[in-house]
Chain A
C-alpha cells in the first residue's frame, strides 16, 4: 500500500496550471504593465507639455485690431503745409491719439452703436496706447499721407484683446481698474459691425519688447536678433576650437598626464551646471575684462565655453569612427600625419561633426540660466546695430525674453511667453531636422 501512495504524483498534470505558476505568470504580466505605464507617463508628459504650450501660445500670433478710417487732417499734423519732416515732428503722439480717438467716435456714431454707461474715456481706452506712436511713425515715413483719409489697422487695448480671446470676462472687468464692462459691450458691438477683428500679427515676431502696460504691442524682434548674434559668435568660436581640440586629442596627443588632464577637464566641463558658466562670464568678461552688460558678445562667449565640451564629445566620436585603414592608406602613399588627417579623416568625419555642432548650437540657443547673470534680462527696446559693432550693443535673447515676460503681472504676457516658446521650439525643431537630414544623407557605414 505504501508503495502505491508514493507513486501518486504530488502535482497535477503539466497542462493544468498550478498556483505557483499562476502567481509567477501574474507577476510577469504586472511587470510588463509597469513598463507600459512608465512609457505611458513619459509620453503623456511630453504630450501635455507640448499641448499646453501650443494651446496657450498660439493665440499670441493673432491680435485684435480695429479697422478705422482715420482722417489725417493737415491743420493738426502739418500746420505749415510744407510737409517738412522737422516741422511735422513737433506734433507729438497726443495729436495723433486724438485723431484716432475721433475716428473711433465717428465709426461708433456711423454704425449707430449706443452702449449704456460708456464714457469718452472708455472709448479712448479701447485703443492701445502704442497705436498713436505707430501711426506717427507711419506718417513721418510717408508725409504724403497727410490730408488723406487713411484706412488703417489700429491695435486694440490689451484687455479688449484679452476679452476677445476669452481671458477677460464681465466679472473680471468689474474688479479691474483698466477695463470697464461698458467697454466690453462696445467691443461686442464693434465686432458685430466688423470694425473689430482678430488678424495675424507679424509684429509679434518683428517688433521690440514693450512696457509692462502695453502687452498688446510687445514683440520678439530684439530677442530673435540677439539670439542670432549669439549663435553666430558661438558658431564662429566653438566650431574651429572644438574641431581643433578633437583632432589633437584623437589623432596627435601622446598618452600622458597632460592629455589625461585635458580629457578629464572636458568630461567634467560637460557636467558643470550652466549657471556656473554665468558666474564665470560675470566675473571674467564683465567685471574683469570690462565688456558691456547685456551684450550678445558676452552671451556668445559664455555659451561658447558651455558648448565646447558638447561639441568636442561628438566630434571625437566622429573622428574615431573613421577606420584606421583610411589613415594607413594615406600614410602609405607618403602623406604626412597632418595631411592624412586634414585631407582624408576630417572630410570623412565632417557629417558627424556638423551634426554634433548643430545639436550643440540648439542646446545653446535654448539656454537661459547663464544669460540671466550677465544682464540679458534688461529691458531692451532698441535693436542692436549691424555686426560687428552690434555684438556690443544691448540685446535680449529668446529664452530670456520668455522668462522676462513671465515675471510681469499682466496675464497677457503669459500668452506672449508661450508664443515666444513656440517660436523657440520651431527654431530648435528646424535645427534638429537639419542635423537628422545631414546624418541620414551623409552617414557612412564602414
Chain B
C-alpha cells in the first residue's frame, strides 16, 4: 500500500478519534458538560494527538530505517560477498535496486504473476531487452546472483511495506482506544493535551540542534574517511591542487584558500567603502524622503538571488573587464577572473555592510552629535571623530559578517572566478575557490570511495570552520567593545 493511502488513513483515524473523544466525554458526563474537568474539544484533541502523533513518528522512522535494513540484508547475500571494494559494492547495489524496480514494471506491463517472476531465469537471455522495453535500462548483463538478490530485495520491500501498514495502523488504533478509555469526567484533558503540544514544541526546537549535529557529523565522518585515504599533512601543506581521477592526485588546499581569500579581499575592498559611505550619507545627511527611496532600493540588492549575480558576472562584467582592462594592459585574456568575481560579489555585499552599519550609526545617541556640534565641529568632523569611533565595534562586526558571506558564496565564484587552481597575484587571472571545488568534485557521476570526491567534505569542513570562526569573532567584537549608553 502506498504511503499516501496510509497517510490518508491516519488523517481519517485522527478525525474519527476527535469526534469519538467529544462524544465519549459527553457520554461520561451524563449529558452535563459542567461535570467535566475540561471542555469537550480538549477531550477530542487529546484523543487526536494520541492517535496521530505516535503513529506518524513510527511511520517516519520506518521509512528512514527500511532501506538501511533491507540493503544490509541483501548485501549479505551471494551477489556482494565476492566484492570487497566499497565502490563496486555500491554499483552492484544500484544494479540490484534497478532490476528490482524493473521486475515491478515487468509485472505491471506484461501481466506477469509472482510465480512467473520467481521462475524467470537469466539463461533465457532476453531479460535485459525485456526490461529495456519496459523502460528500465540496465548496463551489461544481469548475473544470476543479481537477479536472485533483486528478487529478495523485492520480496523484503513488499514485506516491509505490508508490515509498516499494519504496524502504523495498529499503533494509531491502539492510541485511539487507549486514550478513549481514559476519558472520565475528572480526566484533565486540557492539561494533558497542552503538555503534549509543549513537548512537540520542544521537539521542533531540537530540529535546529539536530541540524547542526547533522552538519558536523556528516562533515566529520567523511573527512575522516578522506584523511584515511589521503595524508592530512599533504592536504594542509601541499601547494598544488591537481586531482586525477586515475589516482595519484595532489590535493593541497592552499591554491583554493588563496583564491577564496583573494576574491573576498577584492569584494570587501569594493563593498566596505561604498557600503559604509552609503550608510553614513543615509543616516546623517539624507532627507527622510530620499532615505525612504534609497534604503529599500539598496536592500533590493540583498534580495536578488546569487545566481543572478553569477550570470551578471559571466555575461556582462567578465567580458567587459577582459576587453577594457585585462587585454589592453596585457594582464590576461580570461573573462572569468578574480576581479570579475570580486567586483560582482562586492555589489552583492554592499547592502550587508550598509544596512548593518546604518542601524549601528543610528544607535549612536543624538547627545554625542549635539555635543560635537556645540564645540564647533562640522558635520563630517562629527562623523569621523565622534560617530565612527563610537560605532566602530558594530561596523567591524558587520564587515566580519560580510567577509563570512564572501567566503561561503558559491554561485558567483562558480560562474565568475574560473576553475584553475593557482597561486598568483594577477587579479585578471582565473583562479578558483573552496566552494567552486566543492561543487565540481561533488557534481556529476561521482564514486564515493575515492579521495578526489571525499576531499569535498574536508573542504566543506574548512569552509564551515572559517565562517563559524568569523561569525563568532564578529559577535565577540560587538559584545566586548560595544559602548553602553543609558
Contact = CB atoms under 8 A, between A and B. Distances in A.
**Chain B binds chain A:** yes
Contacts of B467: 271-273
Contacts of A48: 316
A280 B213 CA distance: 10
Interface string B326-366: 00000000000000000000010011001000000000000
B411 interface: yes
A275 B467 CA distance: 12
A261 B210 CA distance: 11
Contacts of A389: 2, 4
Contact of B205 (A39, A245, A288, A414): A245
16 contacts: A28-B378, A42-B351, A49-B309, A248-B205, A262-B205, A266-B208, A268-B468, A268-B471, A269-B212, A275-B410, A277-B215, A279-B457, A283-B219, A287-B448, A305-B207, A372-B443
B285 interface: yes
A418 interface: yes
A38 B415 contact: no
Contact of A403 (B208, B347, B411): B411
A265 B460 CA distance: 18
A272 B215 contact: yes
Nearest to B294: A39
Interface in B271-285: 273-278, 280-282, 285
A241 interface: yes
A277 B215 CA distance: 7
Contacts of B378: 24-25, 27-28
Given A42-B274, A373-B443, 4 more contacts: A28-B378, A276-B215, A289-B67, A366-B304
Given A245-B204, A273-B408, A373 B281 contact: no
B409 interface: yes
Interface stretch (B49-57, B195-203, B237-245): B195-203
Contacts of B71: 290
B117 interface: no
Interface in A244-273: 244-245, 247-249, 252-253, 261-262, 265-266, 268-269, 271-273
B452 interface: no
Contact of B308 (A53, A265, A375): A53
A193 interface: no
Interface string A404-417: 00100000001001
A273 B190 CA distance: 43
Contact of A46 (B285, B300, B457): B300
A37 interface: yes
A410 B4 CA distance: 43
A333 to B, nearest CB: 15
Contact of B218 (A248, A280, A425): A280
Contacts of B316: 48, 52
B170 interface: no
Interface in B211-265: 211-212, 214-215, 218-219, 221-222
A414 to B, nearest CB: 6
List of 4 A-B pairs having minimum Cβ-Cβ separation, nearest first: A273-B408, A366-B305, A35-B281, A38-B277
Contacts of A399: 305, 307, 411
Contact of A421 (B190, B221, B311): B311
A275 B439 contact: yes
A280 B214 contact: yes
A309 B215 CA distance: 15
B310 A275 contact: no
A369 B211 contact: no
Contacts of B280: 35
Interface stretch (B73-81, B136-144, B146-154, B379-387): B379-387
A28 B294 contact: no
Contacts of A249: 205
B62 interface: no
A236 interface: no
A360 to B, nearest CB: 12
Contact of B274 (A38, A262, A284, A287): A38
A52 B312 contact: yes
Nearest to A401: B307
Nearest to B203: A244
B305 A368 contact: yes
B9 interface: no
B48 interface: no
A241 B205 CA distance: 8
Nearest to B67: A290
B476 to A, nearest CB: 13
Contacts of B370: none
B297 interface: yes
Contact of A338 (B4, B194, B354, B407): B194
Nearest to B207: A241
B306 A368 contact: yes
Interface in B371-417: 378-381, 383-384, 401, 404, 407-411, 414-415
B297 A43 contact: yes
Interface in A32-84: 32, 34-39, 41-43, 45-46, 48-49, 52-53, 56
A270 B447 CA distance: 31
Interface string A362-405: 11011111001101010000000000110000000001001100
Given A265-B208, A276-B464, A279-B438, A43 B308 contact: no
A282 B222 CA distance: 11
B292 interface: no
B410 A273 contact: yes
Contact of A275 (B197, B201, B408): B408
Interface in A5-38: 24-25, 27-28, 30-32, 34-38
Contacts of A266: 208
Given A41-B274, A269-B211, A46 B308 contact: no
B303 A432 contact: yes
A46 B404 CA distance: 22
A241 B203 CA distance: 9
A242 B205 CA distance: 8
Nearest to B474: A271
B485 interface: no
B171 to A, nearest CB: 21
B206 interface: yes
A368 B190 contact: no
Contacts of A373: 438-439, 442-443
A173 B189 CA distance: 80
B305 A252 contact: no
B301 interface: yes
A265 B212 contact: yes
Interface string B294-325: 10011011011111111110111000000000
Given A38-B274, A248-B201, A276-B460, A49 B305 contact: no
Contacts of B194: 336-338
